[in-house]
Structure 1
Amino acid sequence: MMRLLVLLLALCILVSSAPNYQNKDCQTGFPPSPHRTVTYKKGTATKKGPPYLHRTVAYAKCDPGYTRQGYHTSECQFGEWERELGKCV
């Protein structure tokens, strides 16, 4: 019986210390960067401002004459962008 209580207590501690995935939205977008335009899309809908829903994709596009260095997309996953978008040089 004592082992069961200790096991239940350990399980409660483990669950209470787990990351909180309730708020899955990204609260901010990407900061402005010279010669780069970022658009945000969830399915077919274009999103104008934060918060960005879970699974929204950010797309980076460079102005004509500039080349992107780095990733051109990033997805909002559990409240954080999966990676940084590239810069345009």
Structure 2
Amino acid sequence: MRVFLLLIALCIVLASSQNYDDKQCYTAFASSPHRTVTYKKGTATKKGPPFPHRTVASAKCDPGYTRQGYHTSECQFGIWERELGVCV
């Protein structure tokens, strides 16, 4: 029983220490009229790909335009979680 519990504890430690640096998003969101997209991970601003795991893309509309859709999207394991909204 002790060996079993030790193995479970070891698996938890290994899983929690995984390196997600190789799980990057290699594409940026396509340009869209009247929309600016910024990318941040923590306090660091990124200019272009690749974007590290947990980078957040944010959409901001030009004055006079309204966003339809999501304001943010997060890079999760190499895939953007959702599409950003468009500005109309």
AA in 2 matched with 1:47: K
> In the comparison of the two structures, how many residue pairs are matched?
69
* Pairs within 5 Å for 1:44-59: 44-59=43-58
Unmatched 5+ residue regions in structure 2?
Answer: 1-19
- SS of alignment partner, residue 45 of structure 2: strand
Shift of 1:79: 0.4
Partner of 2:37: 38
* TM-score, normalised relative to structure 2: 0.76
Q: Against the structure 1 CA distance between its residues 44 and 22, is the aligned structure 2 distance closer, same or farther, given a 3 Å change threshold?
A: closer
Which 4+ runs in 1 deviate beyond 6 A? none
- SS of alignment partner, residue 24 of structure 2: coil
* Pairs within 5 Å for 1:1-89: 23-89=22-88
CA distance in 1, matches of 2:32, 2:52: 22
* Cα RMSD for the two superposed structures: 1.3
* TM-score, normalised relative to structure 1: 0.75
Q: Against the structure 1 CA distance between its residues 53 and 86, is the aligned structure 2 distance closer, same or farther, given a 3 Å change threshold?
A: same
